[in-house]
């Protein structure tokens, strides 16, 4: 078997049988990253050769030999995103202007939760400038590219996580998502991703709508990772209570009892590429042919994107204005221009933009209250040139691609991204399956159903290794 396509279960079975060890896996993944990173640039910081990580793998190997693993993730390689705080390290958010900031004094909750599982953390995946781009562009490290084609964009802001998933660095790659930053790179890299219910995995620093999510090739791996990192934490006032054991187990549901809302027009943002619309419509047809009821949903995003973007610009302008001139000069020009647009936003306009987050949440919940799940594109189009900061490449319409993702950040609903086909030039297309709040189990059930039975045209038959060509 291809070790780079191993699932969590494949790793733990091999560890239990003694046919593979966490130390051997760490060495293999180090070799893989040594070969691929000069092309992909998916990693912002590597831990694989540090004494701490090597000792962690050795300790895991010992536990497996004794038959006493800490968790299903013991010894399993995974990555965290660049914005995860690790005590003693500077968190740059992909921006050189923050490279000499004070080191973190506390770990992020997800880091502490992962360390308890005994997993092997390979390092931090790259994110774009200030986390505000849907690309791999950064002033703090080389541009991350798409693992399928170095001229394609990986998306963002979990750019490195999407690339690492497709390249086989690890079965589990943590990201964060406030407007599609897990689902977009999952879509454009042809992998799976899940943004859980808001508050399910604690976040520090917390922010309304921001969720920790997971990307990878296998849905069961994503479920395992989320189940082991879902907890309440004092550092996140929005975090949910500790979930009960088995809460993500496959529910006993009958597809004939399921109503699906189909959304091909969000009512805002960029127009949907006909190839994307056709691929998503085939997913809806698949579920309808399986016995589900499919109804068309009316557009409900309206002017929310521009209003919420205005609020984000106002907040980032405040932070940008506080930088010294020499630090401002280090910020990517696109982001500087985006921030500067916040200078002329009045307090009333900023409040209106803030209020729109709740208004969109209410409209989303109202529009979807009579369906069990919502099927839509993840993005209006497939991936785009690697050196563009946004799909529009236009700072005036920077967020025109997030209309299908943003509503579920505001409403707190869980949503997955699954590969559902390819464009005529072989760019991956992602379908989004969203569910009702707290129903990650249902979203995973629907996602698994599609993954297990989808047509060959929507399957990844072999994973890319462009660094070998």
Strand arrangement of the beta sheet that strand 43-46 belongs to? 43-46, 120-125, 77-81, 172-177, 211-216, 192-195, 415-422, 428-435, 373-377, 259-262, 293-296
Give yes or no for a contact between 124 and 80, defined as CB atoms under 8 angstroms apart.
yes
Cβ pair 255, 287 in contact under 8 A: yes
- Bridge partners of 125? 43, 81
175, 146, 177, 141: which is closest to 163 by C-alpha? Answer: 146
CA distance 197 to 408: 9
CA atoms within 13 A on the CB side of 457: 9
Max CA separation in the chain (angstroms): 64
Q: Is 157 a catalytic residue?
A: yes
Q: Report which of 451, 445, 412, 413 is spatially closest to residue 431, judged by C-alpha positions.
A: 451
Active site residue 227: no
Q: Which two tokens stand for residue 247?
A: 């809460």
CA dist 152 and 143 (Å) reads 11
What sign does the dihedral 165-219-203-123 (CA atoms) show? Answer: negative
Q: What are residue 175's DSSP bridge partners?
A: 213
| Number of neighbours of residue 89 by Cβ within 10 angstroms | 13
Q: How far apart are CA 124 and CA 93, in angstroms?
A: 11
447 included as an active-site residue: no
Among residues 157, 239, 304, 411, the one annotated as catalytic is: 157
Among candidate residues 165, 176, 181, 230, the one labeled active-site is 181
User: In the block, which residue shows the tokens 């690697």?
Assistant: 386
398: left (phi over 0), alpha (psi -120 to 50) or beta: alpha
7, 29, 45, 81: which is the annotated catalytic residue? 81
Q: Which residues are catalytic?
A: 81, 157, 181
């Amino acid at each position: 078997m291809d070790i780079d396509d191993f699932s969590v279960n494949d790793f733990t079975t091999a560890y239990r049988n003694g046919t593979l060890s966490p130390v051997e896996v760490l060495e293999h993944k180090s070799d893989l990253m040594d070969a691929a990173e000069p092309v992909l640039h998916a990693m912002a910081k590597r831990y694989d050769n540090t004494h701490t990580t090597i000792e962690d793998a050795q300790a895991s190997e010992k536990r497996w030999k004794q038959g006493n693993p800490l968790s299903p993730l013991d010894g399993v390689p995974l990555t965290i995103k660049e914005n995860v705080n690790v005590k003693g390290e500077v968190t740059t958010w992909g921006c050189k202007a923050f490279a000499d900031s004070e080191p973190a004094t506390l770990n992020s909750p997800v880091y502490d939760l992962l360390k308890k599982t005994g997993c092997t953390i390979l390092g931090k995946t790259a994110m774009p400038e200030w986390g505000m781009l849907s690309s791999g562009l950064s002033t703090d490290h080389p541009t991350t590219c798409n693992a399928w084609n170095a001229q394609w964009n990986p998306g963002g802001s979990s750019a490195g996580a999407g690339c690492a998933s497709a390249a086989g660095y690890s079965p589990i790659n943590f990201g964060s998502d406030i407007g599609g930053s897990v689902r977009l790179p999952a879509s454009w890299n042809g992998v799976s991703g899940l943004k859980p219910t808001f508050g399910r995995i604690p976040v520090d620093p917390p922010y309304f709508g921001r969720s920790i999510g997971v990307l990878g090739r296998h849905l069961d791996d994503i479920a395992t990772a989320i189940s082991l990192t879902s907890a309440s934490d004092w550092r996140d006032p929005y975090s949910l209570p500790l979930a009960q054991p088995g809460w993500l187990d496959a529910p006993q549901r009958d597809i004939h009892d399921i109503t699906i809302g189909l959304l091909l027009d969000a009512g805002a943002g960029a127009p949907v590429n006909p190839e994307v619309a056709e691929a998503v419509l085939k997913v809806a047809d698949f579920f309808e042919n399986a016995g589900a009821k499919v109804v068309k949903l009316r557009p409900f995003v309206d002017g929310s994107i521009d209003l919420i973007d205005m609020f984000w610009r106002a907040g980032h302008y405040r932070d940008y204005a506080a930088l010294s001139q020499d630090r401002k000069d280090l910020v990517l020009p696109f982001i500087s221009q985006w921030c500067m647009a916040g200078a002329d936003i009045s307090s009333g306009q900023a409040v209106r933009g803030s209020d729109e987050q709740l208004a969109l949440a209410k409209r989303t919940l109202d529009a979807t209250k009579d369906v069990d799940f919502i099927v839509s594109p993840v993005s209006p189009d497939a991936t785009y040139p690697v050196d563009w900061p946004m799909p529009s490449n236009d700072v005036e319409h920077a967020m025109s691609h997030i209309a299908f993702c943003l509503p579920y950040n505001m409403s707190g609903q869980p949503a997955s991204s699954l590969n559902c086909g390819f464009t005529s030039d072989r760019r991956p297309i992602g379908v989004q399956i969203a569910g009702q709040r707290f129903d990650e189990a249902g979203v995973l059930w629907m996602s698994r159903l599609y993954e297990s039975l989808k047509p060959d045209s929507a399957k990844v038959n072999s994973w890319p290794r462009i660094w070998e060509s």
